[in-house]
Each structure stands twice: as structure tokens, then as C-alpha cells.
């Protein structure tokens, strides 16, 4: 699988640059962009994609171009909440670097949010923060974390995302998605050993779309 190859640091095949593949699940429609490689994973044809890509003169940027993504939204009846950068890191042995308490309350807001996007969700609380680990796009391990305002700038975010590397199976990788403008989270992930590998736009169903104006 392409995601496994990327996570393991492998070299992507040079051709085709743009590939249209079936969505890995009914929930997971996506456009993925890597260096010199893009993938549209959705129930569309290659002809439809070619007809709707903007002619910018830069084929490498066209699959992530807003007009194309908007056409894909309308065609599929789904919404893209953000274009995120993707970062990935391998599993680490031993226990996490800070005490964690698993949250089993399914009414907890972080649990309710996570289960809309991921399977096998586990939510862990630390003093001043919350870490979520689950299986998302194409079954990959993904994390999200949240640090309370009063506990920021003290290394807790780095400890939480490092903990995620200890909570996944040996030999696995964990992915993080960050808005390009979120420099603080990007620095936190880089400090925890995560490597930037590309960008993605997930097309979410209305049931999990973030409320707000379209």
C-alpha cells in the first residue's frame, strides 16, 4: 500500500504522477499529495478528474487546487474541512513518557468527536491534556491531541504526541494531520520525531462535518 511505503521511507514509483483509485471505505474519500505524486481516492473516474483539473501550468499542484477540490465536493456531496500537512513517525518501545489514564466514557467530547473519523479509538488523559489514537484513512494509525491553555509551552504537547508512538503496535506507524498555518503543532511534532511527507484533503460525510458556514 502507498501509505505504508511512504511511512517506511520508501521511494514512490515515478509514474503515474496522478492516480485515481477506489476509496478505501465509504467513510474515507481523500485527495493525497506527495512529492511528484498525487492520489484521488474516491468514487470518480480518471476522465472526470482530468476534465475538472484546472490548467495552471503546474500539474503537481493541480490536484490540491481549490477549484478542483470544490468540484469534487459538489460531485460527491461531501465537505473538505481543511487541507492538512501529513506527518508520520514509527512506533517506539516501552511505556509512554508520562502518566496516562484511558477514558472509557463515550460521552466525553473527545471520544464523540474521534469516533466520527476513526475506528478502534482510544482516548488518554494526562494532567492538562488529552491524546486520541485510532485507525483512520485506509486503517492507518492516527493521533490527535489537545493541551489545556494553562499547560501550554511546557512540553506537554511533545510528550503527548511522543506517547502516541508508544501506544501503537510494534513495527507500526502513526500519522498526524496539521493545518499548514499551525506552526506550533508542526514544531511539536517535529520535535517528537515526526517527518512531513505530504498533504491531504479528506472529504467527510455530512454526519461528521464540522458545523459552520459552507
pLDDT tens readout for residues 176-209: 999 999 999 999 999 999 999 999 999 987 744 4
Task: Determine what percent of the chain is predicted with pLDDT higher than 90.
Answer: 74
- 113: closest CA among 136, 79, 96, 91? 136
- Do both 82 and 93 map to the same domain? no
151 shares its domain with 73: no
- Render pLDDT for 160-169 as a digit per residue (tens, 0 to 9): 999 999 999 9
For the entire predicted model, the pTM comes to 0.90
82 plus 101 within the same structural domain: no
Looking at the fold, whether 13 and 50 belong to one and the same domain comes out as yes
Q: How far is CA 108 from CA 89, 112, 122, 147, in A?
A: 27, 6, 12, 16
The pLDDT value given to residue 76:
95
47 and 135 inside one domain: no
Q: Which residues contact 94 (CB under 8 A, 6 or more apart)?
A: 166
Q: Count up the domains in the chain and report the number.
A: 2
- pLDDT at site 153: 87
Q: Degrees (nearest 5) of the Cα angle 182, 133, 189?
A: 35
Question: According to the model, what pLDDT value does residue 110 have?
Answer: 64
Q: Are residues 96 and 163 in the same domain?
A: yes
Whether 18 shows a pLDDT value over 60: the answer reads yes
175 and 145 both lie in a single domain: yes
Would residue 132 count as lying in a domain? Answer: yes
CA distance to 18, 21, 43, 54, 61, per residue, from 50 (Å): 10, 14, 14, 9, 14
Residue 172 inside a domain? The answer is: yes
At 106, is the pLDDT very low, low, confident or very high (cuts 50, 70, 90)? low
Helices (H), 77-131: 109-115
Q: Which domain range does residue 44 map to?
A: 2-86
pLDDT at 211: 43
**Considering the domain boundaries, does residue 156 fall inside one?**
yes
Query: Is the domain of 104 the same as that of 53?
Result: no
Residue 209 resides in a domain: no
On average, the pLDDT of the chain sits at: 90
Residue 178 φ/ψ, nearest 5 degrees: -135, 135
Amino acid at each position: 500500500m502507498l501509505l505504508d511505503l511512504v511511512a517506511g521511507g520508501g521511494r514512490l514509483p515515478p509514474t503515474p504522477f496522478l492516480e485515481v483509485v477506489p476509496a478505501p471505505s465509504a467513510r474515507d474519500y481523500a485527495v493525497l499529495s506527495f512529492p511528484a505524486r498525487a492520489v484521488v481516492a474516491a468514487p470518480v473516474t480518471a476522465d472526470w478528474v482530468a476534465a475538472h483539473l484546472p490548467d495552471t501550468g503546474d500539474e503537481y499542484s493541480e490536484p490540491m487546487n481549490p477549484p478542483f477540490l470544490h468540484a469534487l465536493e459538489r460531485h460527491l456531496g461531501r465537505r473538505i474541512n481543511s487541507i492538512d500537512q501529513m506527518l508520520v513517525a514509527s512506533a517506539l518501545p516501552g511505556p509512554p513518557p508520562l502518566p496516562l489514564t484511558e477514558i472509557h466514557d463515550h460521552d466525553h467530547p473527545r471520544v464523540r468527536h474521534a469516533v466520527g473519523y476513526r475506528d478502534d479509538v482510544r482516548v488518554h488523559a494526562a494532567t492538562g491534556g488529552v491524546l486520541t489514537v485510532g485507525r483512520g484513512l485506509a486503517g492507518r494509525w492516527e493521533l490527535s491531541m489537545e493541551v489545556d491553555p494553562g499547560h501550554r509551552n511546557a512540553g506537554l504537547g511533545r510528550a503527548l504526541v511522543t506517547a502516541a508512538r508508544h501506544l501503537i503496535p510494534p513495527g507500526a506507524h502513526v500519522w498526524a494531520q496539521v493545518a499548514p498555518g499551525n506552526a506550533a503543532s508542526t514544531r511539536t511534532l517535529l520535535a517528537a520525531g515526526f517527518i512531513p511527507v505530504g498533504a491531504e484533503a479528506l472529504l467527510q460525510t455530512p454526519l461528521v462535518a464540522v458545523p459552520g458556514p459552507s
